[in-house]
Chain A
Amino acid sequence: DAKTTQPTSMDCAEGRAANLPCNHSTISGNEYVYWYRQIHSQGPQYIIHGLKNNETNEMASLIITEDRKSSTLILPHATLRDTAVYYCIVRVPFGNEKLTFGTGTRLTIIP
C-alpha cells in the first residue's frame, strides 16, 4: 500500500469548511483513497473513499487530483463535534487485507 503524508495538526473555525490535505505521490492505479476519523478515544469511523472521481456523502466531500497524487477531504460546515484525528489511507481493495494507519491530522474546530 502507498505511503501517505498528512499535516500533523490543523485548526478551523466553527461553521467554516475544513480542508484536510493528503499526499500520496506513490499511489498506484488500482489503489483507492480512504478517509477515517477518530474522535477522542473512540474507535476509528469511516468517512469516505474514492478512486479518481470526486466523491460526496452526507459527512464530507473527497477531491482527488487528476494525477491522483494528492487528495483533500472537505468538511463543508465544521462543527465542534468534528474535532478529531483524521486518517488518510490508500490501499487496493479486494487485495491486501492489511489497513495501515499513519499518525493522521489532528483537526481542532475553534468556536
Chain B
Amino acid sequence: NAGVTQTPKFQVLKTGQSMTLQCAQDMNHNSMYWYRQDPGMGLRLIYYSASEGTTDKGEVPNGYNVSRLNKREFSLRLESAAPSQTSVYFCASWDIMRNQPQHFGDGTRLSIL
C-alpha cells in the first residue's frame, strides 16, 4: 500500500548516543515533515523539507538535524540524544500543490535513558 514508512518503530537509547530516524514515502510528494509528540501534547514541527534539496526549521529544531536524501526519503538525526528528546516522532508527506491532505507514518517511539 502507498504511504509513509518510518523505521524503526521503537528504539531505546542512552544519553549521548546518536541515531538516525528514517522516513520514506512513495506518493511522489514534494514536501516532507518531521513532528514530535510528547505524552498528552499535540504535534510540534521539528523540521520540514518543501522540496528535494531544501530544509527549514520548524517550531522545535534544537538538537536535531535532517537530510532530504532524495524525493522519497527524509531522515532525522539526533547527534547526542538527551532524555528531553524522549517522544514519539512522526514523519509526514504532502503534495501542497494539489491541496491534498498530509499523510502520516505510524511513528517511531524513542526513549532516551
Chain A contact residues, CB within 8 Å of chain B: 32, 34, 36, 41-46, 49, 87, 93-95, 97-104
Contacts and interface: CB of A to CB of B under 8 A. Distances in A.
Interface in B1-41: 4, 31, 33, 35, 41
A98 B94 CA distance: 10
Interface residues of B, number: 29
A102 B101 contact: no
Interface of B: 4, 31, 33, 35, 41-45, 48, 50, 56, 58-59, 88, 90, 92, 94, 96-97, 99, 101-107, 109
Nearest to A47: B101
Contacts of B101: 34, 36, 46, 49
Given A43-B90, A87-B42, A102-B42, A94 B104 contact: no
